[in-house]
Structure 1
Amino acid sequence: MAIQPFPRTGARPAPRVGPDRVLASRRRLLRRDSLLIASWVSVAIVIALFLADDVAAGFVSVGQTLTSLGIAAGLVGTDLLLVMLLLTARLPVIDRAYGHDRAVALHRKLGKPLLYLLLSHTGLLIAGYGMTEGINPVSEVLTLFLTVPDMPLAFMGLGLLLAVVVTSVVAVQRRFPYEAWLGIHLLAYLAVLAALPHQFSNGAVFAPGTWQRLYWLVFYLAVTGSILVFRIAVPLARSARYRLVVTGVRRAGTDAVTITMSGAGLESLSVHAGQFFLWRFLSADLWWHAHPFSLSAAPSAGVLEITVRGLGSGTRKLLTVRPGTKVVIEGPYGIFSKTVRTSERLVMVGAGIGVAPIRSLLEEADFAPGDATVILRAGRVEELYLLAEIDELCRSRGAYLYLETGPRPSDLAHWLPAASADRGFSLLSYAPALASSDVYVCGPVQWSAQVMAQARAAGVPAEAIHHERFSW
């Protein structure tokens, strides 16, 4: 079904990009390229420093060759591990270039190569040392574990990293509650600390006075400082400065509420509609859990709003949060906002509680009447959250609003309900000027992927498709 504030007319020409947006897009791409180059350069530096350290002497026998290859694998793996930690350190330069979702995706992609490198590091060193000393691998492991300083910590660090990578596999991840998964991933920091001593206490690679030692010390300190500053110090400072407190809770559906918060001097907080924060509500049963939620209204007059659906044990508790509850924030994060616009036209597609950032974007974005289309998708009418507010915004701002409800096809091969999919409906059915529009998508992962695939097939450039990942 559809709600149209005014009749649709022929699509008028609209520029794909304006000069300001071209410049902003180029800067963002330049930041991405620079960060990618920097990560490869870090690996190249590690290899170069290793090769410069009289590497030929390490390849005079099979055992020494295996040992040298093992050391090289460990160095590259450690470098990638530190890059992974930087990707989730909430660095502003990374967030502005990639957005939180894409940075986390890159973090995950590095997980398996990192694990393979560190397992190769362990296996090659055991084999190389064993061949050089003339003992079997089992005896070599026992020797390393019992006689080499800091080696038990190194084995513990490898085990912790193995647990982190295994639980990141989607099929395994879904079996864990969010709290358990997050707790396991925090062990990555402990794994780095456990592995660190053996790097500096064993062998000549990190010997005092070498360039390698200086490089690794600087890299470790930079990563540690970034985590302490941007994941701990900045959130605490912002929370103390803005002093957010819950001022209102209202129903947004049968199993959802909109939480309104106010604070001191929020006007100075650089935040845009569509971005998200990590919210920590300081009540007895909620203070220990940070919830990631996008703004569901454009920030204004010292007020922030989020809309929460009770999908799990943690979010269900939020439905009963009381006015007066203090709030600690981390953020804002993400580039699901007007800052990445490339066109005068907008197509915004949301499913379930994913309509929350769509509603805030609709309120804040600049567009002419007729240049914005909103599509809301839900299994049932009751799950069209914030519908009245979105309808009012569409009518007042001149945006087209389409509602699609009903079960998906049995094979889940379409993002629309079966009735619309069978009639051949697609994104183009709702937005004829799709190819010259920015497309914002927020909803479940598989569903969002299908929407974005239709957008790409219709000719929307990759840089004009913006996705908010709606899962952990």
Structure 2
Amino acid sequence: MTTTRHYPTKSFAPPGTLALGTLLAVVLANLLVVEAFFVSAGPGKNSLLTVAKFVGVHVALVMMVQLVLVARLPWLDRRIGMDRLTVWHRWTGFTLFWAVLVHATLVVVGYATLDDAPVPKTFLALAGVPASLFGMIAASIIVGTAAVSVRYARRRLSYETWHALHLLLYAAVAFGLVHQFLETTTFTSSGWATAYWSLLWIAVGVAFVGGRVVLPLWRNAYHRFRVAAVVPESDDVVSVHVTGRHLDRLPARPGQFFIWRFLGHGRWWQANPFSLSAAPDGRSLRLTAKAVGSASAALRHVPVGTRVFAEGPYGAFTTLHQVKDAMLLVAGGVGVTPVRALLEEATGPVVVLYRVRTEAEAALLTELEGLVRARGAQLHVLTGRTGAGSPPNNPFDPDQLVALVPDIRERDVYVCGPPAMTSAVLRSLRALRVPRRQVHAERFSLA
């Protein structure tokens, strides 16, 4: 028996626009309140310390925004996508880095000016004050984390090492909070200010712990995910079927992904984001992975019955964002997995472009062909080396896309594949003036 899934109806505004507008409105509203408390608290002991205090209150607000962006709140994630939220978190982090440096420098120089003392002596004197010491520790952690997050350094670290270092930011938040409430600052200038700031931090903390800890733990305890079957699709591609309790109540949609851990198989801290390769039917979930690393290669040997810890569903790569009846689904390599799931849910005219080097490397091709026939859709398998031949084989050039899909401007376009392919498709869609709200692409990764 097929389980019918009922998804939320579309809102009056594009979901991503609505979510971004809501997020900005909340941030701006709190910014206005903070500015009002800053003005009512009065200036600092001199002009430099006044500016330092002004920067300091905004440092705290930026910290809160950073935590919310990576809280994995379902309402935001389904509408904006983890990839975009993570990028915003990254740039907010560098904003925090510079704001902390400016704040710390102004504090030291401001007190040195006030006391008519050398800057090094003032720095050491401030380090002996508990409130200032907590702030210095928080600042040092933030600066260090920013240093290892620069692309040059990040590329030379494994994800696990980088993530472990990144976790120190939570310690920086804790030290920063103590610093804020020990100092005689805007946050403690009145009972109203202290109450407001405390409630705001509590709300951010609840959102973060709820999204990152409580919700995943509850879902896994409730659904009790287990491996039901492991099916090799080819020499280097494998599908894992996961079952559990009450999966019809799991709010997963075609195109989304989970972060998977197979308990007792590999290291417990190793997690991988894999998309659903079939539409969730209320009875089981399926992921399909290509062996590109030790973790994905080991999936072939996961025993049936293995307990699974799954975080999610995540991602905005769904028909929630569809604005046209017709769709163009573009997949590259193992990026076909969410595209194949989306094809199950598609109802209007659909064209699928599947880019692989050879048909032998086309994972799930038989399933795609069956779905295409059942839905009266079109499938083009695009093979060959890019740039080879005469004329060159560039299937995602604008003229080639229009030749394959003449009405491309009247379709929602979903793109998933290697970064180079995705970038090429997006460039061509811009050149063809496909409206931005009709273009959907998402990077399925942890950082």
Q: TM-score, length-normalised on structure 1?
A: 0.87
Task: Check 1:54–1:152 CA distance in 2 against 1; reply closer, same or farther (3 A cut).
Answer: closer
Shift of 1:240: 1.0
C-alpha distance in structure 2 between counterparts of 1:198 and 1:422, whole Å = 54
Corresponding residue number in structure 2 for 1:72? 54
Shift of 1:448: 1.3
Corresponding residue number in structure 1 for 2:108? 126
From 398, 402, 409, give the equivalent of 2:376.
398
Shift of 1:310: 2.2
Shift of 1:44: 2.7
C-alpha distance in structure 2 between counterparts of 1:327 and 1:291, whole Å = 12
Cα pair 2:81 2:442 within 8 Å, conserved = no
SS of the aligned residue for 2:379 comes to strand
User: Which amino acid in 1 is paired with 2:266?
Assistant: D
Cα pair 1:297 1:304 within 8 Å, conserved = yes
User: Which amino acid in 1 is paired with 2:241?
Assistant: T
**2:31 maps to 1:31:** no
C-alpha distance in structure 1 between counterparts of 2:418 and 2:285, whole Å = 24
**2:81 maps to 1:99:** yes
Cα pair 2:398 2:431 within 8 Å, conserved = no
Report Cα offsets for 1:217-243 as digits up to 9, x if no partner.
Answer: 112111111122121111111111111
From 304, 307, 326, give the equivalent of 1:323.
304
C-alpha distance in structure 2 between counterparts of 1:445 and 1:419, whole Å = 18
From 418, 422, 441, give the equivalent of 1:467.
441
Corresponding residue number in structure 2 for 1:50? 38
Q: Give the alignment of 1:302-381 within 5 angstroms.
A: 302-367=283-348, 371-381=349-359
Corresponding residue number in structure 1 for 2:3? none
Cα pair 1:66 1:124 within 8 Å, conserved = yes
Corresponding residue number in structure 2 for 1:430? 404
Shift of 1:404: 2.0
C-alpha distance in structure 1 between counterparts of 2:297 and 2:120, whole Å = 51
**2:229 maps to 1:248:** yes
Shift of 1:249: 0.9
Q: Which moved more, 1:69-78 or 1:285-294?
A: 285-294
SS of the aligned residue for 1:274 comes to coil
Corresponding residue number in structure 2 for 1:445? 419
Report Cα offsets for 1:143-194 as digits up to 9, x if no partner.
Answer: 111x201433322222222233333333432222121122222222121112
Shift of 1:289: 2.2
Q: Which moved more, 1:325-334 or 1:165-174?
A: 165-174
Corresponding residue number in structure 1 for 2:92? 110
Corresponding residue number in structure 2 for 1:17? none
Report Cα offsets for 1:21-76 as digits up to 9, x if no partner.
Answer: 5x454455333212112112222322221122122xx37xxxx2111111211211
C-alpha distance in structure 1 between counterparts of 2:221 and 2:73, whole Å = 20
From 1, 20, 28, give the equivalent of 1:40.
28
C-alpha distance in structure 1 between counterparts of 2:404 and 2:94, whole Å = 41
From 244, 250, 257, give the equivalent of 1:263.
244
Report Cα offsets for 1:393-413 as digits up to 9, x if no partner.
Answer: 112222211122333349xxx
Q: Give the alignment of 1:221-236 within 5 angstroms.
A: 221-236=202-217
SS of the aligned residue for 2:167 comes to helix
C-alpha distance in structure 1 between counterparts of 2:30 and 2:420, whole Å = 34
Task: Check 1:118–1:379 CA distance in 2 against 1; reply closer, same or farther (3 A cut).
Answer: farther
RMSD between superposed Cα atoms in Å = 2.2
Task: Check 1:441–1:168 CA distance in 2 against 1; reply closer, same or farther (3 A cut).
Answer: farther
Cα pair 2:331 2:354 within 8 Å, conserved = yes
Cα pair 1:443 1:468 within 8 Å, conserved = no
Shift of 1:256: 2.0
Shift of 1:373: 1.0
Corresponding residue number in structure 2 for 1:140? 122
Shift of 1:286: 3.6
Task: Check 1:172–1:409 CA distance in 2 against 1; reply closer, same or farther (3 A cut).
Answer: farther
SS of the aligned residue for 2:393 comes to helix
Task: Check 1:303–1:225 CA distance in 2 against 1; reply closer, same or farther (3 A cut).
Answer: same
User: Which amino acid in 1 is paired with 2:443?
Assistant: R
Cα pair 2:339 2:416 within 8 Å, conserved = yes
From 350, 360, 363, give the equivalent of 1:385.
363
Q: Which moved more, 1:322-331 or 1:90-99?
A: 90-99
Shift of 1:319: 3.2
Corresponding residue number in structure 2 for 1:407? 385
Cα pair 2:255 2:339 within 8 Å, conserved = yes
User: Which amino acid in 2 is paired with 1:332?
Assistant: P
Report Cα offsets for 1:311-356 as digits up to 9, x if no partner.
Answer: 2233233332121111112211112111111111110111122111
Cα pair 2:398 2:429 within 8 Å, conserved = no
C-alpha distance in structure 2 between counterparts of 1:154 and 1:45, whole Å = 23
Corresponding residue number in structure 1 for 2:178? 197
Task: Check 1:320–1:118 CA distance in 2 against 1; reply closer, same or farther (3 A cut).
Answer: same
Cα pair 1:347 1:439 within 8 Å, conserved = yes
SS of the aligned residue for 1:155 comes to helix
C-alpha distance in structure 1 between counterparts of 2:118 and 2:288, whole Å = 61
How many positions carry a matched residue from both structures? Answer: 436
C-alpha distance in structure 2 between counterparts of 1:358 and 1:424, whole Å = 21
SS of the aligned residue for 2:136 comes to helix
SS of the aligned residue for 2:394 comes to helix
Q: Which moved more, 1:175-184 or 1:427-436?
A: 175-184
Task: Check 1:379–1:166 CA distance in 2 against 1; reply closer, same or farther (3 A cut).
Answer: farther
Task: Check 1:336–1:193 CA distance in 2 against 1; reply closer, same or farther (3 A cut).
Answer: same
Percent same amino acid at aligned positions? 34
From 415, 437, 456, give the equivalent of 2:430.
456
Unpaired runs of 5+ in structure 2?
1-8
SS of the aligned residue for 1:373 comes to strand
Report Cα offsets for 1:344-373 as digits up to 9, x if no partner.
Answer: 111011112211101110112222xxx211
